[in-house]
Structure 1
Amino acid sequence: MAGFKLSGLADPTRSLHGPNWKPWAFHPLYIIFICLLHIVFIVGIQLILKKSGSDAKIIQRIQQNETIDSPESIFVFDEGDMNAYLTWQYLPIALATILAILWESLDLTVRRLEPFHQLSLPEGGDVDNALCLEYTGTFSFTVPFRALTRRHYAVVMSSSVFVVVATIITALTGGMWGIEWASLSYSAEKVDGPKWATVSVNPGVAIATQVLHGLVVAGGLLLCATLHFRQSGLYHDPKGIGGVASLISESDYIDQSALHLFRQLPSFAHSKVVRGALRGIRFRLQHVPVFQQDGSSHLMYQLTATTDPGYIIPQRAEDGILYHDRWDATGFFLTKRAVFIAECIIWLGQAAIIGALYQVAKIGSKLLGGDDSGSSTSSKTTIAKIIYTLSLTIGGVMWLSVQRELQTFEPWQRLRKGKQRGSAYANLVQSDFASLGLLTSLFLAAAKGKIVELWASFAVLMVYVATVFVPPLLELSYAAGLGARSPLPAKAFGVISGSSALSLAAAGIAIHLVILCNMFFVMLSGRTKPFLPRRPSTLASQILYLCHSDRLLKNFRGTSTMQSPRELAAKLGSTNRGCGFGWFYWQRGQAWCLAVEQEVPGQQWFQFNWGTPLSQGSRYA
């Protein structure tokens, strides 16, 4: 490496052995902290099981309708005690949901950075395991299987843990115990004296939940070790369009240029065309000498290809056609169909079929209860509650994919409209909210006034709120005979009478309306309409949109080895020209191409209009 100047590196010796920037979510203390929370859950459930056994006699006395003035048991509370009701019904599942949100940030980061890790390996990566890899917006239930076929074990572990915590553990947590109301059973005829509600613990569900928490701890610690000992292959966060531009900005000044290959493809090429044309070619992120016009050299970190400089990609005549494929332009989760399916799954257990769920629950009642009617009824309620909570969590995972797709496309929406003013750092790096976790994107979008990104995160958050709040409310209203399919007589008592009942009902209706409005907002906002020929959800797709952006890439030169966000912001913050996405005239190739490029006064560019064919007589690249 003698004779080369290493630009932007604080520690050349360390960096040459491999760049190893890691996000805060990869820190061992963060992962260990989440695992400790799961251990607290295991211990807490065990203590409740033990306490339930020791308090069994007093609970039995109350259920036999004995008069007890002040029962000393955490499993007994007055029917009108709203605090006790909220603690038993909402606190456990709320804590489980918080665990899911904590894992979501880590899982998203692992998925997002996996292509860069693969490209940084000595053998590099190809279109199947790196450049055309799409994990971020993919339905979480399918990610572990896709990652396993590619041997991306970090993604397998992170996505599996997230799915288990966000769906199965959350659903089982809501079914670990149930509340039996005195006014509806053992004290229904009682007029005078207090009426006590009793909490019955379901040992089978509780133990199953403990086992899953233990498996999550094991998977989390294994993931922690994997992320700690492997290198990320990055100097800084490759977020946004700018993160990709930084890694290809020097390609015109190096051998084995990756852009030489991409420029042979039409900028509007279909994703299948891109994948087929580049299949079999290995790409790699590595340090390469960059030669300047004055003869000096700098060592930069760039995406390279293993082909010879004069390699020509074999192409077919149909590869140059502008396809109008809605599926390739938006993907599944940015369609009205996907949003509607997510809503249907969320409300699977609502009034229309809540009675059917209770009938289905009869099949599993013997697994959880005895033959007596009280135990059987409790078992049916538990099964139905678990099923409905599970449907909510699955719908929430689908909405999570919708959120990430919306936030991925929104910066491109603004670029297409040509209204992006400010620095390149703000427009092409900070505009990426899809790379952030749910809560981080929610708060940052609110702080920066990004309405669509804020709403996308808020929509997912409301599904989490529904997961916590709605199943216990439906269970309570069904038991009180207030459900449309409930065979029980209507009866007001305790927390479901007076102002308490009005508060619960108002909250339930508000959650229903907000989630319903979320669906209509997506469908009516125009965000499901295609406006790109190819969705920008893979590295290959973004590189193809950037490979002709000479002015933009020039501004990113020298940034690939910068380690400090402040240094990167200072470098890109000095560029205040607006950027746009559309048809730009590429001077070097003497052709029109679809690109993200800086606008120049006096030079025209045109929006890409979906469905409009290419103009005859013009040359396109």
Structure 2
Amino acid sequence: QDIVHAGLTAEYHDLEARGKPGTLFGGMDTVVTAPFLGGNPETQAPSHQRALSNTTTPSRIEAQREAEKTGEILAVPEIPAVDISNFGGGALDSHQALNPTESGAQGDAKKSYYFPPDPDMPSWRPMSMNWWYITILICIAFGLAGLQEYICQISMRKANENQGLIEFKDPKEIPTIQYFTWKYAPTMILVSYGILWQISDFEVKRLEPYYQLSKKTGATAEESLNMDYLTFFSYLTPIKAIRYQQWAVTLSSLSTLIAGSLVPVLQSASVEMYPKKSERVEGRMKYVRIDPPWSRTVTAALCFVGICGIILLFQLRRKSGLLSDPKGIAGIAAMATRSHILSDFNGLDTANHNKIHKQLKNRRYILHKSSLWQGEYIKHTAADHKSDQKRPENPHPLMLRLKAGVPYIIFLLVFAGFIPICMFVEGANIITEKLPWFLTAVATIIKLIWSTLDCDVRMIEPFYILSRRHASPRTLTLDYTGTVPGWLPIKAAINRHYLVALVGLGAVLTEVLTVCVSSFSVDGKKFISGKGDELDDDESQGDSRDNSGETFKSFWVSFGLALGILLYLFLIACLVYLKRRHKFLPRQPGTIASVLAFIHQSKMLVDFVNTETFNSKQMTQYLERLPKTYALGWFSGRDGEDHCGVDEEEILAEYQHGVDWTKSRLLGGHIGTWEHY
């Protein structure tokens, strides 16, 4: 029975190796095989092994030149090592001889693939990565920097004349437009500018693996197929990008962090009211001025963002190799039907990221004519020291686990409690008086962490739907990761993905929270009706409501919004961990490699042949014409074996984390054998 099974398996691999145009792996028909590739055979063969010699072996450089010269894809096998110790007969395993997938790399030649340049390499990119969009961001950065310095100069000149940008005796005297311009407009403008950078940053991080794959010789799996920036904490992304020398991600993430998080905090600290609280006298003039040191820091930060944008503009001159947006599972599946790249994922159905990387680390991969291909086989890589790093075993991103969720929820509650304490408890508001930017900084931290949670919920939503069985074809093209933040709640609500919509709305509200808390530097007791003008014996006139920078209405609107938003975030966070904390995936699906491992034996791949040129809309329409539904679980693959991943219905069983369904299933070949009795 084992011999028959091995023979059938060998026949299956032989059939898939004969790729024909218009069929699965049909691109292999265009590959030309060249002589063995390698160095000195004597130095390559380990002890008790003898490598076959070949005097006409071309070098890697020569192989690449030959591919460029002929315009054909060149496959060059490595010199195979033949283990002569097995020639005695005792160690030869007939089962391994008949089953090429189990004999492994030791007896088979490892092929390197070399590709000619694509004269018509496509370069699709989203709107937020186009030159004109980045140019607008650059102009805004330098424009805001110039405006900040201009206002600072005016403020300094007026200060010398004992005046201010805004002058008042009572905040109620300030015209509404001036008051809004002072209290809310700067933070709103800077937060909105940060959102514009965030839109671009999402796309840069999402598409960077494809830019790496579209390089002349491709990229290692560590730099491309296994790269995941979206579920990584945003404030650590620049460090990771620098480590891999992926400068576009470095620049976009730095610009986003500075523009969306640092600059609003600095700007909040740069606006001050004079005289100081202890020196204010009711009925006398108060002034709004700009503090020069803080203002110059804001200007410098904005100039740095502008410079990063200029360099990013040059970095984005690269070609992506994409014809359209590779959205969802379908986008990746369509690019994996022409070559044998899926053969590298054998045995990785439920593998974690560390095991996937270990299996892929000795090969480069390339995006050629909108299809993913194996590239050069490499025995040693410069990134080998990185490949042994421990990857998370948990199938959920960190922010979807209780170990991160519970502290974050507690943090939200503590901050929600701290605001009224700071406003209404005697002496507690000294924190906001001495550090007027403190609450804005805390709100920014909440925003950054929520943004990570938002990305994680977006990413796993299609897989959650698939895990519930009989998902519509639209699920395969569903991809929220690149959706504009403001549009996400609406889009998700239209699709009836209400949890995604609620979390996306929370991301918008965190921006509002940053604006609201920027004005909390007053004594809240003075804004209780009837107590605005009452002073205790130990209070100076500076403690009067009229000597603060807030009106009765502005204080309570900001206070109510801040607490309401924090309550909303608390409730939605609890709902997320209630609905999504259970494990319904073998591993995190945030990388191209993870998705390929899910589909490498799927029968549905046949439907994706010749679809690599489809855009997302065309792909969705094409799939919806097929009378099929899809699921995540255990299914019978194209090789006749049981696999775990995504495939068309009907599948064999749902996925249960930690349970190997194949071990509980009795196959026909097992009947009558002693070990399965």
TM category (shorter chain) comes to 0.7 to 0.9
Aligned residue pairs total: 531
Match of 1:415 among 463, 466, 469: 466
Structure 1 residue 397 displacement after superposition: 1.3
Q: 1:79, CA displacement in angstroms?
A: 1.1
1:304 matched to 2:374? The reply is yes
- Matched residue SS, 1:581: strand
- Residue 500 of structure 1 deviates from its aligned partner by 5.0
Deviation of 1:340 after TM superposition, in Å, equals: 3.6
CA distance in 2, matches of 1:285, 1:268: 25
Q: Distance in 1 between matches of 2:551 and 2:243?
A: 55
In structure 1, C-alpha distance between the alignment counterparts of 2:646 and 2:267, rounded to whole Å = 48
Matched, 1:142 2:239: no
Q: Match for residue 125 of structure 1? A: 219
Q: Closer, same or farther in 2 for the Cα pair 1:471/1:337, shift >3 Å?
A: farther
8 Å CA contact 1:585–1:605 kept in 2: the answer is: yes
CA offset digits 1:137-172 (Å, max 9, x no partner): 111111111111111111111111111112211210
- Among 230, 234, 254, the alignment partner of 2:318 is 230
Shift of the alpha carbon at 1:607?
1.1
Residue 338 in structure 1 maps to residue 384 in structure 2 = no
Structure 1 residue 558 corresponds to structure 2 residue 619: no
Q: 2:290 aligns with which of 190, 201, 223?
A: 201
Match of 2:124 among 2, 16, 21: 21
1:452 aligns with 2:499: yes
Percent pairwise identity:
21
2: CA distance between counterparts of 1:221 and 1:450?
38
2:330 maps to which of 239, 242, 247: 242
Q: Return closer, same or farther for 1:281/1:468 CA change in 2, 3 Å cut-off.
A: same
2:539 counterpart of 1:539:
no
SS in 1 for 2:436: helix
Match of 1:514 among 542, 556, 568: 568
Whether the 8 Å CA contact 1:286–1:304 is kept in 2: the answer is no
Q: Name the counterpart of 2:344.
A: 261
What is the Cα-based RMSD across aligned positions, in Å?
3.6
| SS of equivalent to 2:643 | strand
In 2 relative to 1, CA 162–619 (structure 1 residues): closer, same or farther, beyond 3 Å?
A: farther
**Considering only CA atoms, is the larger Rg found in Structure 1 or Structure 2?**
2
- Which residues of structure 2 form unaligned runs of 5+? 1-19, 28-115, 380-390, 424-428, 529-535, 668-677
Matched with 1:548 is 601
Q: Residue type matched to 1:460 in 2? A: A
Q: Secondary structure at the match of 1:248?
A: coil
In structure 2, distance between residues paired with 1:182 and 1:78: 15
Question: Counterpart of 1:201 in structure 2: which amino acid?
Answer: I
**How many angstroms apart in 2 are the aligned matches of 1:231 and 1:529?**
40
The answer (yes or no) to whether the contact 2:493–2:501 under 8 Å persists in 1 is yes
Partner of 2:359: 277
Counterpart in the other structure of 2:654: 607
Q: Show structure 1 runs of 5+ residues with no match.
A: 8-12, 61-71, 252-256, 288-299, 312-324, 358-376
Alignment of 1:124-523 (within 5 A): 124-180=218-274, 185-188=279-282, 190=283, 196-227=285-316, 229-251=317-339, 257-263=340-346, 265-287=347-369, 301-306=371-376, 327-343=393-409, 352=418, 381=432, 384-421=435-472, 424=473, 426-429=474-477, 431-472=478-519, 474-477=520-523, 480=526, 491-493=544-546, 499=553, 501-523=555-577
Q: Specify the code of the residue in structure 1 equivalent to 2:371.
A: Y
SS at match of 2:355: helix
Separation in 1 of the partners of 2:619 and 2:227?
26
Deviations for 1:225-274, whole angstroms, at most 9, x for unmatched residues? 210x21112111112111111111234xxxxx1111212x2411122111
Query: Partner letter of residue 141 of structure 1?
Result: Y
Please name the residue that 2:143 is paired with.
Answer: 40
Q: Judge conservation of contact 2:499–2:576 (CA < 8 Å) in 1.
A: no
What is the one-letter code of the residue matched to 2:330?
G
Give the 3-state SS of the residue equivalent to 1:303 in structure 2.
Answer: strand
The C-alpha deviation readout for 1:455-494, integer Å capped at 9, x for no partner, is: 121111111111111231x213469598xxx996875448
Match of 2:582 among 529, 536, 539: 529
* Distance change in 2, residues 1:246/1:382 (3 Å): farther
TM-score by length of 1: 0.77
Q: TM-score of the superposition, structure 2-length normalised?
A: 0.71
**1:559-578 → structure 2 map (5 Å cutoff):** 559-562=611-614, 564-578=615-629
Structure with more relative contact order (C-alpha pairs < 8 Å, separation 6 or more)? 1
Q: In 2, are the aligned partners of 1:346 and 1:391 still within 8 Å (CA)?
A: no
Q: Which amino acid aligns with 1:589?
A: D
Corresponding residue to 2:646 among 593, 596, 619: 596
Q: Deviation of residue 420 (structure 1)?
A: 1.7
Q: Secondary structure at the match of 2:166?
A: coil
Displacement of 1:573: 3.7
CA distance in 1: counterparts of 2:662 and 2:622, whole angstroms? 38
Measure, in 1, the Cα distance between the counterparts of 2:230 and 2:246: 14
